[in-house]
Structure 1
């Protein structure tokens, strides 16, 4: 999703699901209902691949613009939760463009928060560490020995689970975070502790 038309079509197909009694989590896999969240709306903007890094930020910006237009047209408050990475804070060997793009997501989140607060639209982000996903499991170096070596650099000595990120996203989308905007929540098991 890297053109405004792609994003408009995506959001138009899901707009009916973004009602005050539901929080929609638009992702590239579809929109899921989040039980238990009321009066919260969230656009969970996931990273995208292919020319990857410039398209990532462009796609996030287009999604944010379309989501904000829809909220403003209905004179509604809302919440955007962007996914960054700890790579936006600490560089990794051989990940220059990835780290730079995630640093861009951090600044995009903060800039959007600054500009959208006056419309009662909150923008926050999550910076995950290494999370156990099918992509991580499929990596050539995901053997038990390599995972032990990787987790030795994580204070909690384990990989994160997708649920660790989902819980933070749900919190940021809820009224419990109603006075938060422009924040990036690091969820990395203590990887950035030096």
Structure 2
């Protein structure tokens, strides 16, 4: 397959082998892309990159703190040194601290906005600058959430950040359309990742009830998100920018 043949791509927060970033990195490599896999822990990123190479794909791991501008500059510098351009950026790195408003601390608020929103600004700004310099356009995919689309209890800070990602992506799309740089947001619902293992273990009956409330009666898989990211990264989405794509099994349609 060659939907991303020859494209240079970066997926942040991709060091968790069961996460959305790792699934996206694998799909990109399967479709011919060179993938830079970044994570806070280099060994985690290298584990995913090595698995991609074992499958015959092309990948390199880099350590990255997405909340640190100097770290972003180092990653972009390495990409420029290695390939001279960046065709696709997936701002995937994120955290969730779920608390009711009364229990939410200023530190919780600041940390979630730093990781989930500020990092998207840092990465997008640098990717756009490089894409404009090279002059070949590009695609930026920003991971939001259904919590950035509708109100979800316990998600005050998380929702604020993810809602910011949604509208920030639209602004970037408008500013960059003439440069053929596309920017879209992806909004996952409940996805089967390691994070769900804890909820299933601690509250099995409540967890089952939540899953049964999904119209499709199941959680999505990381591959469902990876395939959406792949479409938006590819030339098949060449006339799509400034849009949000909900992947939630029908939850927000209710």
Q: Does 2:191 match 1:148? A: no
> Unaligned 5+ residue runs, structure 2?
1-65, 96-107
Residues 1-194 of structure 1 aligned to structure 2 (within 5 Å): 1-15=66-80, 16-17=82-83, 41-49=87-95, 51-139=111-199, 144-194=204-254
Q: Is the 8 A contact 1:116 1:122 kept in 2?
A: yes
TM-score by length of 2: 0.64
Distance 1:192 1:80 in 2: 24
Measured in 2, the distance between the counterparts of 1:7 and 1:56 equals 15
Q: Following TM superposition, by how much is the alpha carbon of 1:171 offset from its aligned partner in structure 2, in angstroms? A: 0.3
Structure 1 residue runs of 5 or longer lacking an equivalent are 25-40
Q: 1:89 to 1:132 in 2, by over 3 A?
A: same
- Structure with the higher helix share, 1 or 2: 2
1:136 deviates by 1.9
Match of 2:41 in 1: none
Distance 1:18 1:153, change over 3 A: farther
- Partner in structure 1 of residue 13 of structure 2: none
TM-score, with normalisation over the residues of structure 1?
0.82
**How many residues are paired up?**
174
Counterpart-to-counterpart distance in 1, 2:237 and 2:84: 19
Give yes or no for contact 2:89–2:139 (8 Å, CA) kept in 1: yes
8 Å Cα contact 1:125-1:184 kept in structure 2: yes
Contact 1:81 1:123 in 2 (8 A): yes
Aligned counterparts of 2:183 and 2:152: Cα–Cα separation in 1: 26
Q: Specify the SS of the correspondent of 1:192.
A: helix
Secondary structure in 2 matching 1:94: coil
- Aligned-pair RMSD on alpha carbons? 1.9
- Using the alignment, how far apart are the partners of 2:84 and 2:225 within structure 1? 21
